Amino acid sequence: MKKIAIFASGNGSNAENIIRYFRDNPNAAEVVLVVCNKPDAAVVKRAENLGVPVKIISKADFQNQDIVLELLKEAKIDIIILAGFLLMVPQYLTEHYKDRIINIHPSLLPAYGGKGMYGRHVHEAVVAAGETETGITIHLVTDKCDEGAILFQVKTGISPEDTPQSVEAKIHRLEKEHFPRLIELFIHDLGQDTMH
């Protein structure tokens, strides 16, 4: 069984959804660790309430590969899921976990990706540009922001009445519906190939 670490920086509704999904489908994988760079982020409480250990790692400590790789090794982590994780993943990590780090981005990449394009900023830009559709992208993580191979995209329409808030709500619904399922498929395709 594969062991998942979720990296998150903020609210953590995706993290919670993924934890619950694999708790209910325990044959595929288990979320054994949440890593967060913000001690006061809501994701910390969400994970603790679900009994998943949380490790706070500061932005500076993320640059220290001994700290991070040791933590992941100790927990026997096979796959890392970024769910609203706002730091760039350091190169040592994209190399060590090559093709084993997955991110979710709240737009149809390559549109509305890159530096500064996260959370509400994405939806504000999409609405301001008068787009008629947006969506989510689930992709592999490399050391270039939002540029790894795309695993899955799904679209949703935007009507003239939509606001950044209502678009965000639509996106969150899509994320809840698809992200855990896609992780499960990805893990299935990895087969017996574990890291530890």
Binding test (CB under 6 A) with ligand GRF, winner from 34, 141, 171, 183: 171
Name the minimum Å distance from CB 23 to ligand GRF. 17
104 binds ligand GRF (CB under 6 A): yes
- How would you write 144-167 as a 3-class SS string? CCCCCCEEEEEEEECCCCCCHHHH
175 binds ligand GRF (CB under 6 A): yes
Is 123 known to be catalytic? no
Catalytic member of 105, 121, 139, 172: 105
d(CA 129, CA 54): 38
Name the minimum Å distance from CB 83 to ligand GRF. 5
Binding test (CB under 6 A) with ligand GRF, winner from 29, 36, 68, 106: 106
CA dihedral angle for residue 118, residue 155, residue 159, residue 15, rounded to 10 degrees: -40
d(CA 39, CA 59): 11
Interaction with ligand GRF in 62-91: which residues (CB under 6 A)?
83-84
d(CA 146, CA 104): 9
Name the minimum Å distance from CB 56 to ligand GRF. 16
Name the minimum Å distance from CB 46 to ligand GRF. 9
Q: Judge residue 40's burial from the number of C-beta atoms within 10 Å of its C-beta, 0-12 exposed, 13-18 middle, 19 or more buried.
A: exposed
Amino acid at 141: V
- Chain residues binding ligand GRF by CB under 6 A are 8, 10-15, 83-84, 104-106, 119, 171, 175
